[in-house]
């Protein structure tokens, strides 16, 4: 579902690296594998230090590395001591402002929503152990997960967000992904998302979830598929319907997802890279037009996936879809709650109650609270 929130293929200048080491090596497909501030103690470093890419840095004179965000590419986890720190509140606030400026200049709202959703959407409520349970833990920065079919094109989102991560080392990838997703909704005219921060990053690619946890767009039984995937996350029918409304933003590109037209009258001139097929005419505006357009189906230039159509075909989903088509405020309220819940799925917070930027009391993540009672 969320994977078909099309991404605008806008990227920073080629001269700008995704990650760098004192102006040195840069990675293009794998990003820094560390959390925000990871404490390492690696002595007698004789092998090459790399960013898990074809580029490498050889510290011939380095004897002992401490307080570095870098990890040896082939280093065994058992030989290093890592301590992940919570994100810094001041840096979180500054990063949020930079994300808003990025959205204004790049019109990248859809792909940033998708980035946050796909990092969180791997959560499995039936697994208690972190990070095996998946969820919002920053694992999507690793190449092995970026190569999952559902994540096609999300490397472009990483390229957009990486300069902000480089600027604010005290913010974890997990927090940055969720912050960008929420800010994209808000800046597109959507509701205020009640967010909290302090998510801890996974440290190595081995901690990425297996492929297959994210939803498909065209399964044989769309409604059953949506429930299978989202009930596993602990979400219910109302939350599934509300979250589907995020398709009011973005486009689907056939070269990435296999769905949609190469271009329509709504997408042929951008903004951003032209092309793709949108769900709505104003695909950078967050409102309830998705539900109206899916219900009416009067415009062949607007996309309707099997999982979209299911919202008005399944009796339970239809109750909410009909309501949201008529009442934007009801949709906004339910969407904000569902988005915030999604952004917390599977996360390990430090401190446990999270970090609040807008004066809202925090709550410790408890997996049982994210069970719908339907399996």
Q: Is 70 left (phi over 0), alpha (psi -120 to 50) or beta?
A: beta
What DSSP character marks residue 246?
A: G
**Residue numbers of the domain that contains 185:** 88-207
pLDDT digit string (tens) for 179-230?
A: 999 999 999 999 999 999 999 999 999 999 999 999 988 899 999 999 999 9
| Secondary element (H or E) of residue 56 | strand 56-57
The CATH number given to whatever domain includes residue 119 is 1.10.520.10
Q: Is the pLDDT of residue 115 over 80?
A: yes
Which among 159, 175, 207 is the end of a domain? 207
Which tokens in the block code for residue 101?
A: 């400026």
Q: How many domains does the chain have?
A: 2
pLDDT one-digit tens code per residue, 288-318: 999 999 999 999 999 999 999 999 999 999 9
Q: 1 falls in which pLDDT band (50, 70, 90)? A: low
pLDDT score at 272: 81
Averaged over 316-326, what is the pLDDT? 98
Does 201 map to a domain?
yes
- Any domain includes 104: yes
Asked whether the predicted pLDDT for residue 65 surpasses 60, the reply is: no
Same domain, 198 and 235: no
Q: Which pLDDT score is estimated for 358? A: 82
203 with 75: CB under 8 angstroms? no
- Please tell me whether residues 139 and 230 are part of one structural domain: no
Same domain, 239 and 174: no
For residue 60, CA distances in Å to 29, 41, 57, 224 come to 26, 17, 9, 57
267 against 31, higher pLDDT: 267
Q: Are 96 and 179 in contact, with CB atoms under 8 Å apart?
A: yes
Residue 307 domain flag: yes
Distance of CA 119 to the CA centre of its chain: 4
pLDDT of res. 217: 83
Residue 184 domain-assigned (yes or no) = yes
Most confident listed range (5-9, 102-106, 367-371): 102-106
227 shares a domain with 201 = no
Tell whether 364 is covered by a domain. Answer: no
- Residue 288 belongs to a domain with what CATH number? 1.10.420.10
Query: CB burial class (10 A; 0-12, 13-18, 19+) of residue 304?
Result: middle
Both 171 and 250 in one domain: the answer is no
Distance CA 76, CA 72 (A): 9
| Mean pLDDT, residues 6-11 taken together | 39
User: Do residue 155 and residue 187 come from a single domain?
Assistant: yes
Alpha helices in the chain (DSSP H): 89-106, 109-120, 143-146, 154-167, 173-187, 222-232, 237-244, 254-257, 289-296, 306-313, 315-326, 328-344
pLDDT at 122 over 70: yes
Whole-angstrom distance, CA of residue 333 vs CA of residue 62: 54
Q: Are residues 240 and 294 in the same domain?
A: yes
232 and 186 belong to one structural domain: no
In this predicted structure, the answer to whether residue 168 has a pLDDT above a threshold of 50 is yes
Mean pLDDT of the chain: 80
Provide the annotated active-site residues.
118
pTM for this predicted structure: 0.76
- Is the same domain home to 238 and 324? yes
pLDDT at 5 over 70: no
Instruction: Kindly tell me if the per-residue pLDDT of 105 is higher than 90.
Output: yes
Whether 3 is covered by a domain: the verdict is no
pLDDT range class, residue 257, cuts 50, 70, 90: confident
Say yes or no to pLDDT of 339 above 50.
Answer: yes
Could you tell me if residue 344 is inside a domain? Answer: no
Q: In this structure, is residue 120 part of a structural domain?
A: yes
Q: What is the pLDDT of residues 31-62, one digit of tens each?
A: 444 333 333 333 333 333 222 333 333 333 33
């Amino acid at each position: 579902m969320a994977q078909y929130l099309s991404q605008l293929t806008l990227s920073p200048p080629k001269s700008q690296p995704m990650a760098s080491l004192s102006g040195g090596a840069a990675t293009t497909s794998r990003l820094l594998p560390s959390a925000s501030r990871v404490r390492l103690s690696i002595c007698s470093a004789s092998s090459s230090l790399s960013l898990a890419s074809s580029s490498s840095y050889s510290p011939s004179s380095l004897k002992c590395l401490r307080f570095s965000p870098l990890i040896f590419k082939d280093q065994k986890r058992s030989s290093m001591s890592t301590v992940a720190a919570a994100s810094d509140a001041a840096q979180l606030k500054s990063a949020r402002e930079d994300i808003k400026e990025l959205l204004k200049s790049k019109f990248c709202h859809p792909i940033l929503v998708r980035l946050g959703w796909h990092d969180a959407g791997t959560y499995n409520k039936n697994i208690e152990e972190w990070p095996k349970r998946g969820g919002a833990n920053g694992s999507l920065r690793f190449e092995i997960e970026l190569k999952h079919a559902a994540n096609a094109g999300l490397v472009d989102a990483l390229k957009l967000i990486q300069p902000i991560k480089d600027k604010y080392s005290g913010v974890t990838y997990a927090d940055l992904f969720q912050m960008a997703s929420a800010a994209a909704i808000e800046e597109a005219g959507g509701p205020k998302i009640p967010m909290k921060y302090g998510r801890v990053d996974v440290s190595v690619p081995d901690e990425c979830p297996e492929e297959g946890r994210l939803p498909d767009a065209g399964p044989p039984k769309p409604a059953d598929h949506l429930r299978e995937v989202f009930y596993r996350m602990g979400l219910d029918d109302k939350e599934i319907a509300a979250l589907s409304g995020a398709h009011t933003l973005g486009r689907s590109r056939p070269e990435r997802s296999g769905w949609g037209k190469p271009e329509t009258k709504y997408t042929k001139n951008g903004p951003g890279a032209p092309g793709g097929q949108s769900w709505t005419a104003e695909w950078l505006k967050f409102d309830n037009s998705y539900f109206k357009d899916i219900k009416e189906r009067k415009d062949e230039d607007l996309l309707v996936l099997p999982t979209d159509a299911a919202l008005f075909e399944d009796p339970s989903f239809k109750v909410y879809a009909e309501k949201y088509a008529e009442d934007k405020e009801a949709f906004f309220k339910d969407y904000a709650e569902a988005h915030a819940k999604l952004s917390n799925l599977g996360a390990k917070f430090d401190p446990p109650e999270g970090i609040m930027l807008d004066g809202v009391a925090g709550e410790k993540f408890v997996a049982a609270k994210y069970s719908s009672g339907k399996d």
